[in-house]
Chains A and B, each alone.
Chain A
Amino acid sequence: MTVPDTGVRVEPGSFRDPGNRVFHRAGEVLRGLDERSARDWRALSASDLFRDLTAAGHLVGTEELVPTPVDVPWAAVLRHDRIPFVSHPYEWSYAMLRDAALLHLDVLRAALEAGFTTKDGSAYNVQWRGARPVFIDVGSFEALRDGEPWAGYRQFCQTLLYPLLIQAHLGLDFQPFLRARIDGVEPDQMRRLFAGTRRWRAGVPTHVHLHGAMQARHADASSSDVRAQLRAAGFSRELALATVRGLTRLVRRLDHRPGDSHWTDYQRTCAYSVPDRQAKEDFVDRAAAATAPHSALDLGANDGRYARIAARHAAYVVAVEQDPGVVDVLYRALRDEGEGRILPLVMDLADPSPGGGWRGVERAAFVDRARADLVLALALVHHLAIGRNVPLPDVLDQLAALTEPGGSLVVEFVHPDDPMARRLLANKPDGLFPDYRWDAFEALLARRGRVVARAELPSGTRTLYQVVMGG
């Protein structure tokens, strides 16, 4: 930390627009604006656009600090409502990315109609409150100069539209593309993916091929010259709106569902008897109530059954699951319920999001964001310890690291003779995991915290623990 004395911590993910920058102080999320951005903000905050978007929950709640603090180098300082858990687009499911794109287009349409525009078009402009997307980049609004196309179109393609096209048309999970490239997928790369007859799929001829060809052709033209030429040729706000409508229609058409994957019908095919499930639900409910957590994490959340139980007692729950198809189903269900406190995320816990971008901190790593007062790891440990060969002590170290000191870890041990564990073991050489035993597991738990509750499920092959972590 460079400036610990004033308690200001600059948000490492917010430097791309030099005119405004997010920082944290005393638990608050603040945004500093230079003179020009301050003028844009004052125009925006006085508008119906701002009032309407905020009232609809589409724009993060924002107010200006009056008077402007004197100990920071900014012309104005805004305070934003805190987003409970910051996530990255490569942690979202397909329907989440699509809804984020639709929100961005909707915000832009409303802005254009009100005489504003957004400077950029990035997926990173959107965050989540549970299953509700919210536009967070208040610094992105500026007055529309008539006759100008949307400056954010290229970014919109790279971080939102192209990933959607890749998944909807090619059936490839989009997440690895976005995780690997902080600025998204470039038109040039897209053209190669969409060669041959694929070039005729919806949205591809124009937004991919024509776009890529135009970029190559105009690589040497300055964008301010082109802006002036377009204005002279009669580009208008109506045209900009027509473009947004076209994009919206296209994104709506891309109503793809990631294939039914292995775990989607887990709840139907799993080995739980009704008494087992009942006992497990009761245990989790009691442990959550006793913890009275602010935040909760459900690891290996599947259909979110236990995330919902946690949400009875926690203010906010992040439900993490490796299978993008399963997360998509969960997200749609939560969205349709209007759920604002459970955030589903795609994440392989054996390969969680690393830090990314500049210096590896522009996008924070999952383990640096995810500490919670209540951590559920139900029917998960065997997947990591047997399925992925992670040594059992390391699995528990990771679970402990995700739990706030004094918080609870609720963990299920699936015994080696349980049918599900046997299935995983059957794929591995005999005798590979001699330490995967409940007594070894309990010893490891005891070294990391205090076991305050323990229950064996009626089937006799699974044991649940509530462990209060050190401190």
Chain B
Amino acid sequence: MTGEGRKAAVTHLAYLDAGSGSLIVQAVVGGVAGVAVAAKLYWRRLVTRFRRQPTDQG
């Protein structure tokens, strides 16, 4: 239930704004290959964050 109500701003996306979440979910909807893409995306993000963390806290 993260963000329900709290992030009401997401519901007012601009007309030609594809919406970040809406882009990612399409990968998942596209079947097994898509899930793999989404997983890779998250994995890369995780790694990036992990690498950055020490400096981020400074």
Contact = CB atoms under 8 A, between A and B. Distances in A.
Interface of A: 16-17, 119-120, 149-154, 157, 183, 186-189, 191, 206-207, 210-211, 213-219, 221-223, 225-227, 229-230, 232-235, 238-240, 242-243, 246-247
B31 A211 contact: no
27 contacts: A17-B16, A119-B16, A150-B18, A153-B18, A153-B23, A188-B4, A188-B8, A188-B10, A188-B11, A206-B28, A210-B28, A211-B21, A213-B2, A213-B21, A217-B21, A219-B3, A219-B9, A219-B21, A233-B27, A233-B37, A233-B40, A233-B41, A234-B36, A235-B27, A239-B33, A239-B34, A242-B31
Given A211-B22, A234-B37, A149 B44 contact: no
Contacts of A183: 15
Contact of B29 (A152, A206, A217, A226): A206
Contacts of B24: 149, 214, 218, 226, 230
A178 B31 CA distance: 30
A190 to B, nearest CB: 11
A246 B30 contact: yes
Contacts of B9: 219
Contact of A233 (B7, B28, B44): B44
Contact of A219 (B10, B29, B33): B10
B37 A235 contact: yes
B34 A243 contact: yes
Given A214-B22, A226-B23, A229-B44, 8 more contacts: A154-B19, A207-B25, A213-B2, A218-B21, A233-B37, A239-B26, A239-B27, A246-B29
B25 to A, nearest CB: 5
Interface residues of B, number: 35
A238 B8 CA distance: 33
Contacts of B10: 188, 215-216, 219
A216 B7 contact: yes
Name the residue in A120, A216, A226, A230 with the highest tally of chain B Cβ atoms < 10 Å from its Cβ. Answer: A216
Instruction: Please provide the 9 A-B residue pairs with the shortest distance between their CB atoms, ordered closest to farther.
Output: A214-B21, A216-B3, A215-B21, A154-B22, A151-B18, A218-B20, A242-B30, A233-B40, A219-B10
A183 B22 CA distance: 15
Contacts of A207: 25, 29
A206 B27 CA distance: 11
Contact of B25 (A152, A186, A189, A206): A206
Given A188-B10, A188-B11, A229-B44, A240 B2 contact: no
Interface of B: 2-4, 7-11, 13, 15-31, 33-34, 36-38, 40-41, 44-45
B26 A153 contact: yes
B3 A246 contact: no
Contacts of A186: 11
A109 B26 CA distance: 15
Given A16-B15, A217-B3, A219-B9, A153 B27 contact: no
Contacts of B19: 154, 215, 223
B33 A242 contact: yes
Nearest to A234: B37
Given A186-B11, A218-B24, A230 B37 contact: yes
A239 B30 contact: yes
A120 B23 contact: no
A230 B34 contact: no
Given A154-B22, A191-B4, A240-B26, A223 B31 contact: no
Contacts of B25: 153, 206-207, 210-211, 214
Contacts of A242: 30-31, 33-34
A217 B15 CA distance: 20
A243 B18 CA distance: 15
A219 B8 CA distance: 9
Contacts of B7: 216, 219
Name the residue in B11, B21, B40, B41 with the highest tally of chain A Cβ atoms < 10 Å from its Cβ. Answer: B21
A149 B30 CA distance: 10
Nearest to A152: B18
B11 A240 contact: no
A230 B11 CA distance: 22
Contacts of B28: 206, 210
A216 B29 contact: no
